[in-house]
Amino acid sequence: MLFLGKLFLGENNANSTFIGIFTFPKTKDLGRKFIPKRFWEIFGRFLGAFLGKSCLKNSEGEYKKMRKKNYKGRCEKRTISKSKDVCRFYDPIQSSFAEILNADPDIEEIRCNVVLDGKDTGEYMTDFLCIKTNGDMLVRECVYRKFLTKPMTVKFLDISKDYWLRHGVEDWGVVIDAE
């Protein structure tokens, strides 16, 4: 078939050529039918997240990986046998890593979302503070692999590492999602 403006040429079943009329819709707001109502709001959020100016949430988690103390986002609340409190998980990475820590025989106690106190750190939380059976402590931050190169993520991870090194925790690490 060949489209020519408002006409198209083609063949029917009897192998004879025919001309059919193809017209475009005569609505004045043709473009508005296909654009969502909040297109510019959604596009602006996407552009802001792409340029690093926003803190959007996606299906996997959120772009800003260290959470503020009074974070108001969606979370999964669950009890773990090695934790005294109800644990709040904001990412699937946190949830699955908590199961790994819970099954580890070297871990005695798990504390989730521990607040970093201090003027230079602000009011942020670290993901896991664990106490081993020998009394040593380990700290783990959960981050998506794609956010490791973001400047804000690197800044927050440095703040967390410096904070815990000042408090005598030598076993500090980052947990990332696998490929």
Give residue-wise pLDDT tens across range 146-168: 888 899 899 989 989 999 999 99
What mean pLDDT is predicted for residues 39-66? 49
Segments making up each domain of the chain, as ranges: 2-51, 76-176
Q: In this structure, what DSSP letter does residue 67 have?
A: P
d(CA 45, CA 55): 9
| pLDDT tens, residue by residue, 60-97 | 433 345 565 556 667 788 899 999 989 888 888 999 99
Residue listed under structure tokens 């106690």: 109
* pLDDT of 139: 95
**Side chain identity at 126, as an amino acid letter?**
T
| pLDDT tens, residue by residue, 103-143 | 999 999 999 988 888 766 667 889 999 999 999 999 999 99
What mean pLDDT is predicted for residues 29-55? 52
As given in the structure block, the two tokens for residue 109 are 């106690």
What element of type H or E holds 20? Answer: strand 17-21
Q: Which CATH architecture has domain 76-176?
A: 3-Layer(aba) Sandwich (3.40)
